[in-house]
Amino acid sequence: MPVFCERTFIVLLFLSTEIPVVSADDIFELDGIVITGTRTEKPVLESPVRTEVVTRKEIEKIHARDLKEALEDVPGLMLKPNQKNGFVAWLQGMDANRVLVVINGEPVSPSTGSSVDLTQIGTMDIARIEIVKGATSALYGSNAMGGIINIITRKPTKPLSYQLSVDGGSYGNKNLSGNANEINARRLAANLAIKRSIGYWQLNADLRDKDGYTLDPDSFRAEGSEGAKANINLRTAWTPDETTEIYIAPRYYREDISNNITTFTPGVGDIKKKKNEAARRASITVGAARQFKSGGRLRGWLFSENWQNITQQDVISTPQVDQQRTAEIDLYRAELQRDEPVGENHVLTSGLVLRKETLNQYTTVPNQTTPPEVDNKEKETMEAYFQDDILVNEQWELVPGIRVQNDSRFGFYAAPKVNAMYTPDWIPGVVTNVRMGIGRGYRSPDLKEQYFVFDHSQLGYMVLGNSNLQPETSDSYQLGIEFARQDDFRADITLFHNRIKNLIDTRINPEKSAQEGLNILEYANFSRALTQGVELSGNLYWNALNLKGGYTLLDSEDRITGKTLRNRPRHLLKAGVDYEYKPWGTMVTLRGVYQSQEFYDADNLLNSPAWTTWDLKMTQSITSGIRIFAGIDNLTDEHRDPGIYYDNRPEAGRFVYVGLKVKN
């Protein structure tokens, strides 16, 4: 059988069976299946869109408690703190507002601005994480200009399966309580699943609780918040036959955290305050999938989500909460996707998306006698996408696509893209892939950027929305070459170039700042920006060792001022080594990150220092179903200087922990 016909057969086979599932014990290396790049299942080495994967095995190996920790070792991915003691992801120099985070293809509501707090997503429910860098708007729509992070959730593979994980740790002398010997942070996570011939049922629960930490024990202020974050996810599916699945999947997230802060008042001095955050995210998905004898598939789902965020300013010396601001977002989404093979060399993918979003926000103050004035805004979009996966011949695959969007506020827009992969036989026994991609990114301002009031006046600033914002566009170019041999090595180099027009960002409004006596930041369009660079990554498997690493050289520019974009280091290096001694069931992992200095401000006058961190992890099997684990995060205790406001080094110091995991 010719190679291109063989590859067509593989694609059709994946379309005519259930979506592959990766369990905790599966080894997902170079023969794993990915879906994000083309929205159809492909072996990772045969995907024409470069896709990086964080496996379930990797998540457990590094003891990742949340999505932020699971992504720490991804080459080129930067993790940045947000304004609410969480973390967001940047890709290829594009900030988190332009990186789409989805769960099984369904967008997660942003927690701050337009970005998703990665610490709000626990890992117990995750089978794998797929990362695609560069403009993917042709398939995933607005907010995917910098790339997409797709969380694929677990499905049961046994009649009965369960897993329980518990751990606790301490920041030592940086514990907010001042007691270096107490357990400061705790996690309890559980998974229970039942699978039968007519369907399956699965429940995941993930609770993470911290007492807070401070980098200056003599100060009331705290860098790390105290409180709890919890995820509860349920999925029930009916599978009347091998070709049909109907499911319902409710998900719930709850967050209650607080942080110690101080503000200076002339004649009074520092005023001690608590900044309290309460967040709730409740969503439900109802969906169905059907495979056909032709090898095609039809999938559809309805998605509804409510996100509520309550922020309080509480002066400790007063008996009441001084101010409370509530924001509530409702999101409704319906999507239908059809995948259909045509002949031996084509797989057509088409889809339709209907989406509605509403934002309600209001402020209450002590002794308020009248109902608060509620600010209601809404936005509707209709989107359609089309893609043709063409196996041209034995060595070439071409994937053109386009997505059209009609926005109730900004009208019609079309975002085309094309990917290509060339697989030459340059080295016998070694898979060689040359990937090329050109895509148009598009992002319309969301309701938060247009209307949200982010009130941090207790910290000396506010962030205001701007109803006059216009959509952003970008042009993304990707070129990479990959060499791989199963169970041996993998290496690739990628060149990327992104140009952004009408960039949406915040800047200080001098007039409003003078009027309010605060730093008033407003969202606005800034004409042009550029990010470009080169990324190298690889794995080497040698006996019991797995060596991995990645290096990114990043060049960024505000094309109006000629200045380097702030918070974008030129050099980012990640390296790691895993050692596994199977006779004892022992795994030892060492991971390091180096980041060069970066500009703190848009004028390039303030430099945040370079930094390096190391994490050491160990897992020991006691029996086939019981493991103990321990680790030290930030081994050298590298952290920011709390007295220097433009120091962007890590906010958390050394963290030591131990844990226990039980599963069947």
pLDDT of residue 4: 39
DSSP letter at 610 equals P
Which of the residue ranges 181-195, 366-380, 628-642 would you say has the lowest mean pLDDT? 366-380
Q: Are strands 472-485 and 461-464 parallel, antiparallel or unpaired?
A: unpaired
242-282 confidence digits (pLDDT tens): 899 999 999 999 999 988 877 666 566 677 777 888 999 99
Domain membership of residue 496 (yes or no) is: yes
40-61 confidence digits (pLDDT tens): 777 788 888 888 999 999 999 9
Q: Mean pLDDT in the chain?
A: 86
Phi (first) and psi of residue 649, to 5 degrees: -65, 170
Phi (first) and psi of residue 232, to 5 degrees: -130, 120
pLDDT of residue 366: 64
pLDDT of residue 173: 92
pLDDT of residue 6: 41
pTM of the model: 0.89
Strand ranges in 408-544 using DSSP code E only, listed in sequence order: 411-422, 431-443, 453-456, 461-464, 472-485, 489-508, 519-542
509-548 confidence digits (pLDDT tens): 777 777 766 777 788 887 789 999 999 999 998 888 999 9
Query: Following DSSP, what letter does each residue of 179-243 receive, concatenated?
Result: -TTS--EEEEEEEEEEEETTEEEEEEEEEEEEEEE-S-TTSS--SEEEEEEEEEEEEEEEEEETT
Domain membership of residue 610 (yes or no) is: yes
- How far lies 218's CA from each of 210, 348, 521, in Å? 20, 63, 31
User: In terms of Cα–Cα distance, which of 408, 428, 404 is closest to 416?
Assistant: 404
Mean predicted confidence (pLDDT) in 85-102? 90
Domain extent, residue 608, equals: 156-227+256-286+297-663
Domain membership of residue 232 (yes or no) is: no
pLDDT of residue 123: 95
Is 647 within 8 Å of 608 (Cβ atoms)? Answer: yes
User: In terms of Cα–Cα distance, which of 286, 207, 224, 221 is closest to 86?
Assistant: 224
pLDDT of residue 458: 56
Is 568 within 8 Å of 533 (Cβ atoms)? Answer: no
Element of type H or E holding 389: strand 375-391
Label residue 354 by pLDDT band (50, 70, 90): very high
pLDDT of residue 373: 63
Which of the residue ranges 200-214, 288-302, 513-527 would you say has the lowest mean pLDDT? 513-527
Amino acid at 29: E
Phi (first) and psi of residue 652, to 5 degrees: -100, 140
Helix (H, G, I), strand (E, B), or coil: what is residue 350?
Answer: strand
DSSP letter at 56 equals H
Q: Are strands 453-456 and 126-133 parallel, antiparallel or unpaired?
A: unpaired
Domain membership of residue 105 (yes or no) is: no
Structural tokens at position 327: 């924001």
Supply the CATH number for residue 474's domain.
2.40.170.20
What is the C-alpha to C-alpha distance for residues 471 and 664, in angstroms, rounded to an integer?
50
> How many domains does the chain fold into?
1
User: In terms of Cα–Cα distance, which of 197, 201, 160, 204 is closest to 56?
Assistant: 204
Please, which residues bridge with residue 133 across strands?
A: 147
pLDDT of residue 46: 82
pLDDT above 90: residue 2: no
Query: Following DSSP, what letter does each residue of 29-81 receive, concatenated?
Result: STT-EE-TTTSS-EEGGG-SS--EEEEHHHHHHTT--BHHHHTTTSTTEEEEE
Domain membership of residue 35 (yes or no) is: no
Domain membership of residue 320 (yes or no) is: yes
Amino acid at 453: V
pLDDT above 90: residue 20: no
Label residue 25 by pLDDT band (50, 70, 90): very low
Structural tokens at position 82: 């947000």
Residue with tokens 């942080």: 259
- Residue with the bigger pLDDT between 146 and 555: it is 555
pLDDT of residue 47: 85
pLDDT above 70: residue 28: no
Is 119 within 8 Å of 70 (Cβ atoms)? Answer: no
What is the C-alpha to C-alpha distance for residues 583 and 124, in angstroms, rounded to an integer?
27
Percent of the chain at pLDDT above 90?
A: 56
What is the C-alpha to C-alpha distance for residues 241 and 651, in angstroms, rounded to an integer?
52
What is the C-alpha to C-alpha distance for residues 76 and 78, in angstroms, rounded to an integer?
6
Which of the residue ranges 199-213, 306-320, 417-431 would you say has the lowest mean pLDDT? 306-320
Q: Are strands 571-581 and 489-508 parallel, antiparallel or unpaired?
A: unpaired
pLDDT of residue 456: 62
Mean predicted confidence (pLDDT) in 306-326? 77
pLDDT of residue 571: 97
How many C-beta atoms lie closer than 10 Å to residue 169's C-beta?
Answer: 22
Q: Are strands 519-542 and 461-464 parallel, antiparallel or unpaired?
A: parallel
Domain membership of residue 128 (yes or no) is: no
What is the C-alpha to C-alpha distance for residues 135 and 145, in angstroms, rounded to an integer?
4
Percent of the chain at pLDDT above 70?
A: 89
100-148 confidence digits (pLDDT tens): 999 988 888 777 667 889 999 999 999 999 999 988 766 787 678 889 9
pLDDT above 80: residue 443: yes
Domain membership of residue 143 (yes or no) is: no
- Residue with the bigger pLDDT between 366 and 391: it is 391
Label residue 12 by pLDDT band (50, 70, 90): very low
Mean predicted confidence (pLDDT) in 499-516? 79
